[in-house]
Amino acid sequence: MQFKTLLKTLPLLMLAAGLGSAAHAADVKLGLAAALTGPAAKYGVAIKNGFTLAADEVNAAGGVNGNKLQLIIEDEQGKKEEAINVFKKLIFKDKALLVFGPTLSNSAFAADPIANAAKVVAFGTSNTADGITAMGPFTFRNSVMEADVLPVTTRAAVKHFGIKKVAIIYGNDDAFTKSGYDVFKGTLADQKVPVTTTEAYAKGDVDFKAQLTKIKASNPDAIVCSCLTEEAANIILQTRALGMKQPFIGGNGLNSPKLFDIAKGAGDDTIMGSPWSPENLTPANKAFIAAYKAKFGSDPDQFAAQAYDALHVVADALKKIKLSGAIDKDRIALQQALPSVTIEGATGKFAFRKAPAVTGKEVGYDAQQEAIVNIAKGGKFILLK
């Protein structure tokens, strides 16, 4: 009996507490759902750092229209189920004005519909899969799709090395490497570059020599690799052990200093496209890298850069609207202000563009951004000129 009474009064108490804090705080609450533990934590932690850095900067400069930004950070563990839980908590309990994240595309497909139904912006900074922004008008992302980056990378590589034909190797049981492969396949067809052979490997494989021997026999001018860093590094090393000299072409998965920790000089001449590069020496990027190093004592990566930019995009949108205090109204005002934001961030010039239309459905907004093409020289990526 007592327990039942408690169950009845608890929501009321929580509601009262919620109203109480909303009335006093002039903080703008922004939710962040990131994978802070589990295998995707290496991305999630960088994302959290990027957001924290940017929020501190904005607040140190007096906030937005006098309001301080308050990040509410929750761990979604890189799992769909947790992403759903965290989104619900941030939207319905914490009353966040918008939710950043989640970290993985898989999780975004599960959690973003909740935000769309509640008319709250879900802002992804690392979701590159196709179709994310088709989920609804409240889904935004500033992560550049592989579909935008890889054609630019491939064209640059073909020109740089005078490539006539390529071989492909990719991981066929991972959403990211598989979708990268699909994009490469379409791109190579569009650009009329013949593929000599296509080889696959599975998660956990460490011996790629059988596939590489077959690739060697097909005699390509370059090897396209839709792989994660650690696999890519071993693939490169094993290629060299087989006496092959071909350059590699890859996507985001290769964009990590870890590539050279493992492959050392063998990784030279690898061409990789990414929205962000530490070698891109614009003032905004230089300032970001210096501030990140000072705060966290390590070098930032692309995930931190995109998170950092995302907060500045939202801060810019917040400048354009006047918050009423009525959360539903403010959430919609933010959604309407976002598409017109343009900034010059760590990842360069940024703007939104409406996602490709889907019949009978309103869509969200993708990133409109230039890809940066890099080439590995002396154990690091430099800009390909």
Partner 1 sequence: MLEQQLINALSLGSVYALFALGFTLVFGVLGVINLSHGAIFMLGSYAALLLIEHFALPLWLAMLAAMLVSGLIGLAVDCLVLRPLRARNAPHLAPMIATIGVATILTSLAQGLFGAENKRFPVGTIPEESYNWGNLHVTAVQIGIVVISFILMLVLLAVMRRTQLGRALRAIAESPKAAYLLGINVEGLFYLTSFAAAALGGAAGVLVGLSFNAITPFMGQPMLHKGIAVIILGGMGDIRGAMIAGLFLGFAEVLTVAYISSDFRDAVGFGLLFLILLVKPSGMFGKVLERKA
Contact footprint for partner 1 (CB under 8 A): 39, 41-42, 172, 199-202, 204-207, 209-211, 213-214, 216-217, 230, 233-234, 237, 241-243, 258, 261-262, 264
Q: Closest CB to partner 1 among 156 and 223?
A: 223
Give me the DSSP letters along 13-75: HHHHHHHHHHHH--PEEEEEEE--SSTTHHHHHHHHHHHHHHHHHHHHTT-BTTBPEEEEEEE
In angstroms, what is the minimal distance from the CB of 146 to partner 1?
A: 21
Q: Closest CB to partner 1 among 235 and 341?
A: 235
Pairwise CA distance, residues 61 & 315, whole Å = 12
Q: Closest CB to partner 1 among 159 and 209?
A: 209
Q: Closest CB to partner 1 among 88 and 240?
A: 240
In angstroms, what is the minimal distance from the CB of 165 to partner 1?
A: 17
Q: What are the structure tokens assigned to 12, written together?
A: 């009321």
Q: Closest CB to partner 1 among 211 and 277?
A: 211
Choose among 134, 231, 133, 223: nearest CA to 177. 231
User: If DSSP codes are grouped into helix, strand and coil, which group holds residue 323?
Assistant: coil
Choose among 221, 219, 244, 224: nearest CA to 161. 221
In angstroms, what is the minimal distance from the CB of 199 to partner 1?
A: 4
Q: Are 94 and 25 in contact (CB under 8 A)?
A: no
In angstroms, what is the minimal distance from the CB of 209 to partner 1?
A: 4
Beta bridge partners, 351, equal: 342, 368
Pairwise CA distance, residues 178 & 172, whole Å = 5
Q: Closest CB to partner 1 among 138 and 260?
A: 260
In angstroms, what is the minimal distance from the CB of 228 to partner 1?
A: 10
In angstroms, what is the minimal distance from the CB of 205 to partner 1?
A: 7
> Terminal CA-to-CA distance of the chain, rounded, Å?
74
Q: Are 306 and 276 in contact (CB under 8 A)?
A: yes
